Structure 1
Amino acid sequence: MRYLLAIVLAIGIALGLGGWSAKLAIDGGTNFDTVQLGPWVASPLIGTQDADPYARARLAKLAQLTLGGGEGIMFQAEEDDAGRRLRLECSYLLSGSTPAARFFTVSAHSDTGLVDLPQRGRPGWLTSNALLRGEDNGFTIAVGPSARAGNWLATDGSGPYRLTFALYDTPASAITGAAGLAMPSITRQECRTDG
């Protein structure tokens, strides 16, 4: 009986530690094939058969679709250029030049999904075909809870979130890599205080 109890205890500890370590790897964002450009991070192999299992599990948990190897590449940022965590109660300025892509989207995601504001008629994303651009083909996007003139990506609430910059039909795909690609900067403007 003592031997059987020791076996059950050992199996319980092994399953518990295994489940805990898998959850830590999925929630912690451990990717084995990442490319980082400033605060922007991408996993070029995520939409291919060569993707690591933790990245696949993370995407399944977030219910996000992936881009195939030749379709494009998706970058995500959880911090601004100064290394501070992105917060829904703060305003940010994204500025840069239009990347080499046929089409791109910029969206805001919290841990529960897309930051969508249907009650105000503002989606939680912008598309490249609707952006105002400068003479040099560059763009500036205001991201935050307060309405801004020009390109504005509306967010609301409080807590951390991440920005997603998806490039479609681009030479910077999983097949060619993201070498030489310039991503927009993320600069914190101000944060609202409640109280």
Structure 2
Amino acid sequence: MRLVLWVLAVFALAASIGLGATWWTVANGLPATGLVIGPWRSEPDVGTLSADPYERAGAARRGEAPLSIGDGLAFMAATDDEGRPLEAACDYALEGALPPARLWTIAAFDPQGRRLSKPGEEPALTSANAARTVGAPLALTLSREPAPGNWMQLHGAGAFRLRLTFYDTALGSALQREIPGVLLSIKRGLCR
């Protein structure tokens, strides 16, 4: 009887470790895969047939319809350049050059995937409505308080994530993955 209980305990422990590791991987992604540029992370293969099961399960869990490489590439950032989690109570300055793309968008989401915008306001900044200076990098401010230039208002409290999506870009191609370049830096400012 003791042997049966011991075997059942070992199987229960193995099942809980295996299921726990699978849940964590689906929720957070594999640490060694994807395309990482500064605080920005992307899974370029998630919309292709070569996507691993964890990438597919993660996209399904988040309720996303992933883009194929030919359509575009989406990057997520949950931390600033120094590795601190993004907080809605803080101001952020984003600056940098963007790779060539037909269209790009940037939007803020809470950890559950809901947009951090109020009804009636622009939910995202896009290449169609961003103010750009010729020869200068894109500059964007995220804050609760209005700011000059490209500004996105933050709502709510706690952590949030940024999603930067490029449509019709070569950034996800095999050659660009080897030499990815840079994306927007995320610098924390004043926290209220």
Shorter-chain TM-score above 0.5: yes
Query: How far apart are 1:69 and its partner, in Å?
Result: 2.0
Counterpart position of 2:151: 152
What is the one-letter code of the residue matched to 2:75? F
Counterpart position of 2:162: 163
| Aligned residue pair count | 191
Query: How far apart are 1:144 and its partner, in Å?
Result: 2.2
1:67-106 → structure 2 map (5 Å cutoff)? 67-106=67-106
Q: Tell me how far apart the structure 1 counterparts of residues 122 and 164 of structure 2 sit (CA, whole Å).
A: 15
Query: How far apart are 1:175 and its partner, in Å?
Result: 4.7
TM-score, normalising length: structure 2: 0.87
Counterpart position of 2:20: 20
1:51-70 → structure 2 map (5 Å cutoff)? 51-70=51-70
Query: How far apart are 1:100 and its partner, in Å?
Result: 0.5
Gapped runs of 5+ residues in structure 1? none
TM-score, normalising length: structure 1: 0.85
In percent, how many aligned pairs have the same letter? Answer: 31
> Structure 1 residues 50-59 or 27-36, which shifts more?
27-36
Query: How far apart are 1:75 and its partner, in Å?
Result: 1.3
1:31–1:54 CA contact under 8 A, matched in 2: no
2:110–2:116 CA contact under 8 A, matched in 1: no
Gapped runs of 5+ residues in structure 2? none
Q: Tell me how far apart the structure 2 counterparts of residues 79 and 110 of structure 1 sit (CA, whole Å).
A: 13
Query: How far apart are 1:21 and its partner, in Å?
Result: 1.4
Map Cα deviations across residues 135-160 of structure 1 (whole Å, 9 max, x no partner). 21532111122222221122212222
> Structure 1 residues 155-164 or 126-135, which shifts more?
155-164
1:99-114 → structure 2 map (5 Å cutoff)? 99-114=99-114
Q: Tell me how far apart the structure 2 counterparts of residues 101 and 51 of structure 1 sit (CA, whole Å).
A: 23
Query: How far apart are 1:82 and its partner, in Å?
Result: 2.1
What is the one-letter code of the residue matched to 2:46? I
What is the one-letter code of the residue matched to 2:131? L
